Amino acid sequence: MNSLWPEIWAALTLRAGPNAALVCLGAAALGLVAGVVGSFLTLRKRALMSDALAHATLPGVGLAFLASLALGLPRSLPVLMLGAALSALAGLWAVQRLARTRIGQDAAIGAVLSTFYGAGVVILTLIQGLRTGQQAGLEGFLLGATAGMLRADVGVIVIGGALVLLAIWALHRPLALIAFDEGAAHVMGLNVPRFDAALMALVLGVVLLGLQVVGLILIVALLITPAATARLWTHRLGTMALLAGAIGAVAGWVGASLSAALPDLPTGPVIVLLTFAALLISIPLTKGRRA
């Protein structure tokens, strides 16, 4: 075990090869953005909506792959992400439509989440049976697959993440007001549904950016756990968002380093476990603080 420390340290300091360094950077950027967006998401009490949104991306990934195959195009990440986004929006629409009936929102989320995911698995299974070499690694979108990440992929995470953070900065005032007091916000003239839609769009952005790193099943952990941990430490929204971002970034960086140094450890799940460790440690340390 002792002999592993130099390797872990090398990975942490970006000296474990170009791919490991890229993954570290991408995972840290993703953790930062997910923590910040997740703070607003959890305060708005829409955590489970993000889970439905993420699972609903899967059929879109498969369909986008089939579409580009049919058109004779090479497999490309942006096209798969576009498919994922469209199918997530369909899932969101389905949740909102179902929630308006008697079944209520939590049942609607459960039904849509599992149905879309099931449809995605069916499509992916069909794709596995096709005689084409390109489908290899599609299932990596489930739990993340960082091994094949390219410089361009990390560039997408960094630039896309920066845009999401910019949008959150611009919208933090109305998002906070709506999360705290929707009624008063409405009377002040804020278009509550429109800001909610903007928040879900930003969450969708995080989900798409996280497809390769932690995958669509685990991204919800990066949105919720760092925010929940940060909430234990502070009573101020701004501090909470920054702290959640920091926790996410550190978990991403360390998790990616650990999995680079210990090849059998999958990156995404390790990152998620690290965020949960931060939460577990924080509970006793913040005990006794006035809620």
Partner 1 sequence: MKAVEFQGLEVQYGDMPALRDASGSFETAAMTAIVGPNGAGKSTLLKAALGLIPSTGRVAFFGKPLAEMRARVAYVPQRASVDWDFPVRVIDVVVQGLYRELGLLGRLRLSHRRRALDCLERVGMADYASRQIGALSGGQQQRVFLARALAQNADLYLLDEPFAGVDAATESAIIAVLKSLRDQGRSVVAVHHDLATVPAYFDRVLLLNRHVQAEGPVAETFTPEALARLYGGLLPQLS
- Cβ proximity to partner 1, 124 vs 230, nearer residue: 230
- What span, in angstroms and rounded, lies between the C-alpha atoms of 215 and 80? 13
Residue 206 phi, psi dihedral angles, 5° rounding: -60, -40
Q: Which is nearer to partner 1, 22 or 224 (CB)?
A: 224
For partner 1, the binding residues in 98-137 under the rule CB under 8 A are none
Amino acid at 18: P
Minimum distance from residue 204 beta carbon to partner 1 (Å): 21
Interhelix angle 237-261/18-43, rounded to 10 degrees, is 150
Number of residues that bind partner 1 (CB under 8 A): 27
Structure-block tokens of residue 31: 């953790």
Stretch that binds partner 1, among 6-14, 206-214, 235-243, 250-258 (CB under 8 A): 235-243
CB 180 → partner 1: shortest distance, Å? 5
- Residue 287 φ/ψ, nearest 5 degrees: -65, 140
Among 176, 202, 209, 271, binds partner 1 (CB under 8 A): 176
Are the beta carbons of 116 and 58 closer than 8 angstroms? yes
**5 binding partner 1? (CB under 8 A):** no
> Which contacts of 4-8 are long-range, i.e. CB under 8 A and separated by 24 or more positions?
4/261, 4/262, 7/261, 7/262, 8/257, 8/258, 8/261, 8/262
Q: Which of 18, 74, 133, 189 is in the footprint of partner 1 by CB under 8 A?
A: 189
Residue (106 or 181) nearer to partner 1, CB: 181
Instruction: Please tell me whether residue 183 binds partner 1 under the rule CB under 8 A.
Output: yes
User: CB of residue 266 vs partner 1: minimum separation in angstroms?
Assistant: 33
* Contact call for residue 244 and partner 1 (CB under 8 A): no
* By CB under 8 A, residue 180 contacts partner 1: yes
| Count of C-beta atoms within a 10 Å radius of residue 78 | 11
CB of 234 to partner 1, least distance (A): 6
Reported as half-sphere exposure (CB side, CA atoms, 13 A), residue 190 has a value of 22
Query: Whose CA is closest to 20, among 158, 147, 161?
Result: 147
Residue 46 touches partner 1, criterion: CB under 8 A = no
User: Nearest distance from residue 291's CB to partner 1, in Å?
Assistant: 5
Contact flag: residue 186 with partner 1 (CB under 8 A): yes
Residue length of the chain: 291
Smallest distance from partner 1 to CB 95, Å: 20
Alpha helices in 129-214 (DSSP H): 140-143, 151-180, 182-187, 192-210
Shortest reach from residue 12's CB to partner 1, in Å:
31
Interaction between residue 184 and partner 1 (CB under 8 A): yes
Supply angle C-alpha 218, 219, 223, rounded to 5. 125
Amino acid, single-letter form, for residue 271: I
Query: Which residues in this chain contact partner 1 in the complex, by CB under 8 A?
Result: 43, 170-171, 173-174, 176-177, 179-181, 183-190, 231, 234-237, 239-240, 290-291
